[in-house]
A = this chain, B = another copy of it.
């Protein structure tokens, strides 16, 4: 599953949250050495170090006193990146990367002694779910060409899907991912709640959800849009709006998305209207 590692890198991992919990063991399995794992709390640092052979837990940001690694990976909440950089004493010219989709590379500009970079895994990480890293797209960016090469090597040791993505593209990608992942999950949740209210199992929707995804991945999604909004089926839209009157927020979503689907038909590519079950 893993690629051959060209070089075993020494890495210090800063952070012990969800991304770090998935990344630390994956780096070890890919042949690297995670020498230290920092977290604000000793418990979190210890728990993750237990899952990464050879890693020493620490709560100290006096990083200059540790052997200098090839790479520091800063996997903390977006808002904490600058805080950790400000609190840490790093050796000069340290290579530090963050793992955030929305944070610009320029976040490192306030620390001119740091060589900044980004290693953004485009996946949703939850506790208790195993992730196959070989299929996680990794977006790499670095201020300096040599660092870019090193990061690409590390990324390729983890995954088959490695892309060099500059900050503006990565930020657009992150917004796209919010629509395609976070928001669709919320809509699945609304569907789940509506099914539950009707006493029906959510799994009844599974074939439909799977076909929707297959179709969206096979053709531009706007061109295969179906449903009452797409076919301007006013009677059905009104029936649905009446059914949603107990859920004003979901009704607002219903109306917003219905309007957007119909607007898209007027500005977008020709749609294949037709009689559809949905």
Contacts and interface: CB of A to CB of B under 8 A. Distances in A.
Interface in A231-270: 231, 233, 235-236, 239-240, 243-244, 249-250, 252-254, 256-257, 259-261, 263-264
A216 interface: yes
A245 to B, nearest CB: 12
A17 B233 CA distance: 15
Copies, count: 2
Interface residues of A, number: 112
A180 B187 contact: yes
Nearest to A203: B217
Interface stretch (A29-37, A141-149, A162-170): A162-170
From A101, A184, A217, residue with most partner B Cβ within 10 Å: A184
A200 interface: yes
B187 A172 contact: no
A100 B236 CA distance: 10
B19 A163 contact: no
Interface stretch (A62-70, A85-93, A219-227): A219-227
A104 to B, nearest CB: 9
B79 A120 contact: no
Contacts of A192: 176, 216, 220-222
B188 A216 contact: yes
Contacts of A100: 277
